[in-house]
């Protein structure tokens, strides 16, 4: 860590006054039960586990630990709702319920954003401006499809799949829940959803909202627990479809356990996206895009731009500008509206990131971290870059899921593409150039599901999302996202 002394002069001497979001307007209960059949019910074995605020390590609440009996109860409730009102309801009526959820989410956006930040550690600016508005946008978008499925699949007779088990991670808790629930309901399915064990609270708030929205009982069931609970959902014989977002290792386990069954599945897994900066790019804009791609949200993004490939002629300039920009990034209290980089989601994830920082240095790469202070309690990682890395280094090949960027250089477009594609993953990528022709060459040359040009990490409900290779199976979002929740009858 050689560059701590490098603190840049322009960042000395002044600070933003704190601008904390208040917690007066939210309610977090001491304990949350399981949301099954439209009601909150205690878990069969009566066990609960705590969820903490990773920025303070304080306990926020306890949530139920669902075991096999509970999952069975949830699946039965979902099946009953499917056979009962939901699959028989007119599609336009179904759409109205989904529109209602969207509107209520918008109305309660501030409350959801605050709880998301407390439970997961992401900056309030991000939950407020990205997660919650996009979550509502997904419900709005898919609500519109509910009575137009005939247009989505012209000439085909589509039917709902049935009961969907949905398992989501901790990096975009409410947004992932919305990505999964909204298209499932629009196509007439019922669901059992499990949030990640470190970020269950906005899912439980969504359960309350769904109850308030008056959805028929059992259409949406929300259960809490860790990996074992997730595995029980996957293996339940009466589940028709699995939707999973999380690590590639768990994705593999799920794929294996589904082999030979009739269950449909989509898996959205890890990534190691490359951002290519060409010498003709608008460099300041590109540096901003890199910062947005890997440092915001603590690098807890499956499609994060965790590799930077920069053309040799501008490498020094880009790295220098990046270092300067890193010095101005504010790391700390996620509830402060000035904060750029919040808390790492959990002690385990921080340990993983730290182990990669050591691996990178042991592999001979040069590490540079910004020199900001971080709070004493909670889990933090300053923005970090590695230079002098080679293609075979583990920090270039493996997903770190933290604010850590590996930087390589290239001379020609072909070399840049070869390096970008030399990865087991294929979720996303980025290109920065002034030339339209280069954009087309790169977007066609990178084998990844999403490629951004002169921007990064932009999302829209109308756009499909998903990966190649070890990044997953299937697409979510847009028209493609509907396909995962229907059966073609003709």
As a whole number of angstroms, the distance between CA 135 and CA 411 comes to: 41
User: What character string, x for contact with Mg ion (CB under 5 A) and - otherwise, covers 30-69?
Assistant: ---------------------x------------------
If one asks whether residue 198 binds Mg ion (CB under 5 A), the answer comes out as: yes
Rounded least distance, CB 172 to ligand NAI, Å = 8
Rounded least distance, CB 334 to ligand NAI, Å = 18
Rounded least distance, CB 50 to Mg ion, Å = 8
As a whole number of angstroms, the distance between CA 208 and CA 184 comes to: 19
Of these partners, ligand NAI, Mg ion, none, which one is at the site of residue 51 (CB under 5 to 8 Å by kind)? Mg ion
Kindly report the three-state secondary structure assignment for every residue of 327-396: HHCCECCCCECCCCECCCCCHHHHHHHHHHHHHHHHCCCEEEECCCCCCCCCCCCCCEEEECCCCCCHHH
Q: Which is nearer to Mg ion, 119 or 327 (CB)?
A: 119
Could you tell me the CA-to-CA distances from 80 to 69, 74, 485 in Å, in that order?
Answer: 16, 10, 18
Query: 457: how many CB neighbours lie within 10 A of its CB?
Result: 20
Rounded least distance, CB 235 to ligand NAI, Å = 9
As a whole number of angstroms, the distance between CA 166 and CA 50 comes to: 22
Lookup: tokens for 437: 């022709």
Rounded least distance, CB 200 to Mg ion, Å = 7
Rounded (10°) angle between helices 201-212 and 109-120? 160
As a whole number of angstroms, the distance between CA 442 and CA 275 comes to: 10
- Chain centroid to CA 56: how far? 22
Among residues 202, 103, 161, 136, the alpha carbon closest in space to that of 461 is found at 136
Rounded least distance, CB 42 to Mg ion, Å = 21
If one asks whether residue 346 binds Mg ion (CB under 5 A), the answer comes out as: no
As a whole number of angstroms, the distance between CA 16 and CA 11 comes to: 11
Closest residue to ligand NAI using C-beta atoms: 230
Count of residues that interact with Mg ion, criterion CB under 5 A: 3
Of these partners, Mg ion, ligand NAI, none, which one is at the site of residue 119 (CB under 5 to 8 Å by kind)? Mg ion
470 catalytic? Reply is no
Q: Which residues pair with 165 in a beta bridge?
A: 192, 242
Rounded least distance, CB 459 to ligand NAI, Å = 13
List the end-to-end C-alpha distance of the chain, in Å, as a whole number.
62
268 catalytic? Reply is yes
Q: Which is nearer to Mg ion, 26 or 104 (CB)?
A: 26
* Element housing 308 (H / E): strand 307-311
* Element housing 310 (H / E): strand 307-311
Q: List all residues 6 or more positions away from 339 whose beta carbon is below 8 Å from its beta carbon.
A: 123, 124, 125, 330, 331, 332, 333
Q: Which is nearer to Mg ion, 319 or 353 (CB)?
A: 353
Of these partners, Mg ion, ligand NAI, none, which one is at the site of residue 178 (CB under 5 to 8 Å by kind)? none
Kindly report the three-state secondary structure assignment for every residue of 223-249: CCCCHHHHHHHHHCCCCCEEEEECCHH
Q: Which is nearer to ligand NAI, 134 or 231 (CB)?
A: 231
Of these partners, Mg ion, ligand NAI, none, which one is at the site of residue 339 (CB under 5 to 8 Å by kind)? none
Cross-sheet strand order for the sheet of 31-32: 31-32, 59-64, 48-52
Rounded least distance, CB 346 to Mg ion, Å = 8
The one catalytic residue among 111, 116, 268, 476: 268
Of these partners, Mg ion, ligand NAI, none, which one is at the site of residue 461 (CB under 5 to 8 Å by kind)? none
Q: Which is nearer to Mg ion, 203 or 427 (CB)?
A: 203
Task: Identify which range of 190-198, 221-229, 375-383, 445-453 contacts Mg ion by CB under 5 A.
Answer: 190-198
Q: Which is nearer to Mg ion, 334 or 461 (CB)?
A: 334
Q: What is the DSSP letter of 17?
A: P
> Using CB under 5 A, which residues numbered 116 to 135 contact Mg ion?
119
Residues that bind ligand NAI (CB under 6 A): 167-171, 194, 196-197, 226-227, 230-231, 234, 245-247, 250, 253-254, 268-270, 302, 349, 352, 399, 401
Q: Which is nearer to Mg ion, 60 or 220 (CB)?
A: 60
The one catalytic residue among 302, 303, 372, 381: 302
Of these partners, Mg ion, ligand NAI, none, which one is at the site of residue 127 (CB under 5 to 8 Å by kind)? none
Q: Which is nearer to Mg ion, 207 or 290 (CB)?
A: 207
Of these partners, ligand NAI, Mg ion, none, which one is at the site of residue 399 (CB under 5 to 8 Å by kind)? ligand NAI
Could you tell me the CA-to-CA distances from 438 to 54, 303, 422 in Å, in that order?
Answer: 42, 22, 19
What residue ranges bind Mg ion (CB under 5 A)? 51, 119, 198
Which residues have a catalytic role annotated? 268, 302
């Amino acid at each position: 860590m050689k560059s701590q002394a490098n603190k840049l002069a322009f960042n000395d001497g002044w600070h933003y006054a704190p601008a904390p979001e208040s917690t007066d307007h939210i309610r977090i209960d001491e304990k949350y039960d399981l949301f099954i059949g439209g009601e909150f019910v205690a878990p069969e074995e009566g066990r609960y586990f705590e969820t903490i605020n990773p920025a303070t390590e304080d306990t926020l609440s306890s949530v139920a630990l669902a075991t096999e009996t509970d999952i069975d109860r949830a699946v039965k409730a979902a099946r009953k709702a499917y056979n009962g009102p939901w699959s028989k309801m007119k599609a336009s009526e179904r759409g109205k319920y989904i529109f209602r959820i969207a509107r209520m989410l918008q109305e309660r956006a501030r409350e959801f954003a605050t709880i998301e930040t407390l439970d997961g550690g992401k900056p309030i600016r991000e939950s407020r401006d990205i997660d919650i508005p996009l979550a509502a946008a997904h419900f709005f978008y898919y609500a519109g499809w509910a009575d137009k499925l005939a247009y989505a699949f012209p000439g085909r007779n589509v039917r709902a799949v049935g009961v969907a088990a949905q398992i989501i991670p901790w990096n975009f808790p409410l947004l992932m829940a919305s990505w999964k629930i909204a298209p499932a309901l629009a196509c007439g399915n019922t669901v059992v959803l499990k949030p990640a064990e470190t970020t269950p609270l906005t899912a439980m708030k969504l359960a309350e909202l769904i109850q308030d929205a008056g959805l028929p009982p059992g259409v949406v069931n929300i259960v809490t627990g860790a990996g074992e609970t997730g595995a029980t959902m996957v293996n339940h014989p009466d589940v028709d479809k699995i939707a999973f977002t999380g690590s590639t290792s768990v994705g593999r386990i799920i794929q294996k356990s589904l082999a030979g069954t009739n269950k449909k599945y989509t898996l959205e897994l890890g990534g190691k996206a490359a951002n290519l900066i060409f010498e003709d790019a608008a460099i300041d804009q590109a540096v901003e895009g890199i910062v947005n791609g890997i440092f915001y949200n603590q690098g807890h993004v499956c499609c994060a731009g965790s590799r930077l490939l920069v053309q040799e002629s501008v490498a020094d300039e880009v790295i220098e500008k990046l270092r300067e920009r890193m010095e101005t990034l504010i790391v700390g209290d996620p509830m402060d509206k000035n904060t750029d980089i919040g808390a790492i989601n959990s002690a385990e994830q921080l340990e993983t990131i730290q182990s990669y920082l050591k691996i990178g240095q042991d592999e001979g790469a040069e590490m540079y971290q910004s020199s900001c202070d971080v709070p004493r309690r909670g889990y933090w990682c300053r923005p970090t870059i590695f230079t002098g890395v080679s293609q075979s280094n583990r920090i270039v090949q493996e997903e770190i899921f933290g604010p850590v960027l590996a930087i390589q250089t290239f001379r020609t477009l072909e070399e840049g593409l070869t390096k970008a594609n030399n990865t087991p993953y294929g979720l996303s990528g980025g290109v920065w150039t002034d030339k339209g022709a280069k954009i087309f060459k790169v977007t066609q040359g990178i084998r990844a599901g999403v490629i951004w040009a002169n921007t990064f990490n932009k999302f829209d409900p109308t756009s499909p999302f998903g990966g190649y290779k070890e990044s997953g199976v299937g697409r979510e979002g847009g028209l493609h996202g509907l396909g995962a929740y229907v059966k073609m009858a003709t």
